[in-house]
Structure 1
Amino acid sequence: MMLQRHLSRTRLLLGSLALLVFLTSHCNLLTNQACAQDTVQVYILAGQSNMEGKAKNSLFDHQASAPETKEFFAHLRDGEKWLEMDDVFINYLNRNGHLTLGYGSRDRTGIEYEFGYRMGKQHKDPVLLIKTCWGGHSLYKKFRSPSNPVPDSVLKQDLEQQVKNVQRNNEKKDRNDPAPTADEVRQQYGDSYRMMVDEVTNTLKELDTRFPELAGKKTNIAGFVWFQGWNDQYNGAETEYDHNLRMLVDDIRKEWKKPKLPVVIAVMGQNMSQEAKGAMKVIQDAQIGVAESDEYKDSVRAVRTAVLVDKAAEELYPNWRQNFEKWEKTGSDFAYHYMGSAIWMTRIGGHCADAMIELVGKD
């Protein structure tokens, strides 16, 4: 009897030791660090120049220390420096690393900083943002998705116009540039969509080398954020925006085999505090309408960006040239780039994250 008890205690002790060794080696309990998760939650941020990010880093720096705005940015600060996130990573074209300030256009930042901050807080898993955006690219043409081919009549008209443009330019500048072919014009439709898919594919394929800390981990494409619209205001493209956006949502879901992939749409908001009119209003209605339709209401959200406007920048913007010194401490770009407002970009990123969290839930 005593021997059986001794053997039972021995087995229990050995089992406990084995478990301790396993936990220590895999979760680094000796240094009281959390066990790293095995899956990387991937969010794709796509669109045109406003997704690139146009708020100057110098404006962020000023407003992070100015008495009237410093509290707004306090959660993104690590002492006197900008927070570099341990568990949130980003890939933007040829740049990659831990998320921090400056992953927008050159020396600028966009919505990704606040978005990534909040998603990092939401997930126990590490988070990876993949930005795929190019200025001036329309949904009608550049981002047109594969299941939405352009009609032959449109291609013919586009080809004729491009041929005329080349001929006119040759005559004007005494050049001899070749006119585009029908196939070359056809390839212009959807080339940004294809580049977006390639960016995502290549980033995930090279995950181990671009992000050594994520080596060996699984990846889960968890959500898609769309921030675009300006270049669809012309030549009647706005009338097709509703259809083209639905096709985009369907096609990215097919592409990544996620029938209910959460999608957040940052609605055009360059109208600021004014009512939107014309083509902008048509695109806004389409973006909101898609999100609220019966087909997508459970998996798509629209974030109205106009209501998040930076009122201080909006008030100063009409006369910014006459008040340039003050303007540099308030905004940093034109109205179509949300005035380059660090506050407005950060608000949009935060609200897009909140909408995404509503869709994806908690780990």
Structure 2
Amino acid sequence: MLMLLAAGLLADPVPVYVIAGQSNAEGYGVPHAQLETIDDVTVVWPGRAQKEVGPLQAGWGANEKMIGPEYGFGQAMQRHHQSPVVLLKTAWGGKDVWCDFRSPSAGDFNWAEQQMKTREEREGRSRKVGAFFNAMVDNIEVGLHQAQVHLGRDDLELKGLVWFQGWNDYCQWPVEEAGSPCGRGIIERYPHNLKHMLCDLREALNDTTLPIVIGELGVHGSDVPKSRSGWALRAFRTAQSETASQLDHCCLAPTASFWDTQATDHWECHYNGSAKSYLRIGRTFALHLLALDALPDGQTLKWQASQKGLQAMLRRYPPKSGGLALWGSSIFRLWERAPAHFSEFEVTNVSFGGARSWETLHYADETLFPIQPSTIFYYCGSNDVNAGADAASIAERFRLFSELTRDRLPHTKIFFGAINRSPEKKERWAVVNEANQLVGSYCETQDGRTFVDLNQVLEADDGSTRQDMFLPDQLHLTERAYEGFARVMREALEQKVQSP
């Protein structure tokens, strides 16, 4: 007992992640291949009819033959933490936010909700408002205790929550009552209800900044039909996105691209029962949560206005998919002749001044990935160094960006431009060098990832800084430097094309 206590005192706290919602959080994926047991990941599901606590393996879905998002999620989290992880599931099929999960601060029903409730009561259906919000809070508290007992440790830390729900708020869209479109009103009310529910949940868990990922309702995939039901689905996804944008430490994780048209193991509302879809969905949930958690203590997300402007421009003048995108900070934003240097590509420069690696992670889904580039030139890290970041965290955030890109754009290649040893940050060159070394080592182990040493352009043969490469601020670059960047980047591109 003394040894166990000592181990608990010396080890880092065990991270706990909650996966909550309705039937897709339960999971209806039917695996057609064996999935290994991952002993370092403990799953806890209070009140489940089958086992409530055990290692991560197939069978933690809606029944003991199925999987949900927990398997891919747990795989990704274990890889990241390299230590024990707890996944706490709390989910019930067929539940909505406007009634079942309604929380106290959502207030009274509006016209649409009242009409829906009156209709249900007339048909002999009765539900207790908010019953499953209360049950969810209770389950999280019970599950944390179960995990402590199972692991023999008290040092558990709640690190984030995934909310994966929506079908039962969306599927009411055709309902009308006395000629009034109350079903569509439920969709319009969804951002209000979900925002209040998530805020109330944070309050109940005593963590008002708990990172939250909202899983997109991705059924039917990205090719939504131009029909009334298609309109409703697009409206619902917009409502989910609006909710994420209204909350701090919250983001939307797209899932529509994981739609599996070949699967036929369950209903379409359950992603056709595709284990492949649920695995990828769980993985993207984990990556999005880790991206939220990548924000260092004492730092904030900046540049929201510039991102909104970029996104509006890209919607108005969408580039062709398959081009070259420049992504990162001002070192690439100021590369004005990049389109001329790489004229064989359609070049889109969406870099933004002042970017830190946590911002390139956070904004990639809304700004970079919709472009669908085949190639990304990435430069970020200089501003991290100025903010006092250590090399390992810079490299880890690039790894997360790389994995998130692989998840969203599996065939896209990334070329990481080495963080510049600029005279302006000479006192922290040791951090720059270590970060470059760590990223370079990572890229060597990954298909489609290349480290490009840009510093060879900025330095003379004896290693001294070439002053003709830098502007007077000793940070930003002259046109001669960009000519050199174009040369070494092209060499890396051509080498990648020629390699088997």
Instruction: Choose which of 276, 285, 296 in structure 1 pairs with 2:238.
Output: 285
Q: How far apart are 1:216 and its partner, in Å?
A: 3.0
- 1:1-363 mapped onto 2 (5 Å cutoff): 37-56=11-30, 60=31, 62=32, 64=33, 82-92=35-45, 93-94=47-48, 95-106=52-63, 107-151=65-109, 160-166=118-124, 188-209=128-149, 211=150, 214-233=151-170, 234=172, 235=183, 236-275=185-224, 277-293=230-246, 295-296=247-248, 299-310=249-260, 314=261, 316=262, 330-361=263-294
d(CA) in 1 for partners of 2:289, 2:218: 19
Distance verdict in 2 for CA 1:160–1:140, change over 3 Å = closer
Check whether the contact 2:68–2:278 (CA below 8 A) recurs between aligned residues. Answer: yes
1:202-251: CA deviations, max 9, x gaps? 12233344x1xx21322211101011111112123111011112112211
d(CA) in 2 for partners of 1:114, 1:155: 36
SS for the counterpart of 1:82 is: coil
d(CA) in 2 for partners of 1:117, 1:237: 36
Aligned to 1:320: none
Distance verdict in 2 for CA 1:26–1:309, change over 3 Å = same
d(CA) in 2 for partners of 1:48, 1:345: 14
Gaps of 5+ in 2: 173-182, 295-392, 397-500
Distance verdict in 2 for CA 1:158–1:269, change over 3 Å = closer
d(CA) in 1 for partners of 2:245, 2:140: 28
TM-score when scaled to structure 2? 0.50
Check whether the contact 1:333–1:339 (CA below 8 A) recurs between aligned residues. Answer: yes
d(CA) in 2 for partners of 1:152, 1:289: 19
d(CA) in 1 for partners of 2:25, 2:134: 17
Aligned to 1:16: none
Aligned to 2:362: none
Amino acid at match of 1:119: M
d(CA) in 1 for partners of 2:72, 2:161: 16
Distance verdict in 2 for CA 1:25–1:118, change over 3 Å = same
Aligned residues: 274
SS for the counterpart of 2:104 is: coil
SS for the counterpart of 1:109 is: coil
Distance verdict in 2 for CA 1:23–1:108, change over 3 Å = closer
d(CA) in 1 for partners of 2:58, 2:210: 28
SS for the counterpart of 1:45 is: strand
d(CA) in 2 for partners of 1:226, 1:140: 15
d(CA) in 2 for partners of 1:226, 1:162: 26
1:104-126: CA deviations, max 9, x gaps? 01121111001011112222552
Q: Which has the higher contact order (CA 8 A, sep 6+)?
A: 1
Amino acid at match of 1:244: N
Q: How far apart are 1:280 and its partner, in Å?
A: 1.6
Check whether the contact 1:49–1:134 (CA below 8 A) recurs between aligned residues. Answer: yes
SS for the counterpart of 1:206 is: helix
d(CA) in 1 for partners of 2:108, 2:37: 43
Q: How far apart are 1:309 and its partner, in Å?
A: 2.1
d(CA) in 2 for partners of 1:24, 1:200: 25
d(CA) in 2 for partners of 1:143, 1:163: 18
Q: How far apart are 1:286 and its partner, in Å?
A: 1.4
TM-score when scaled to structure 1? 0.68
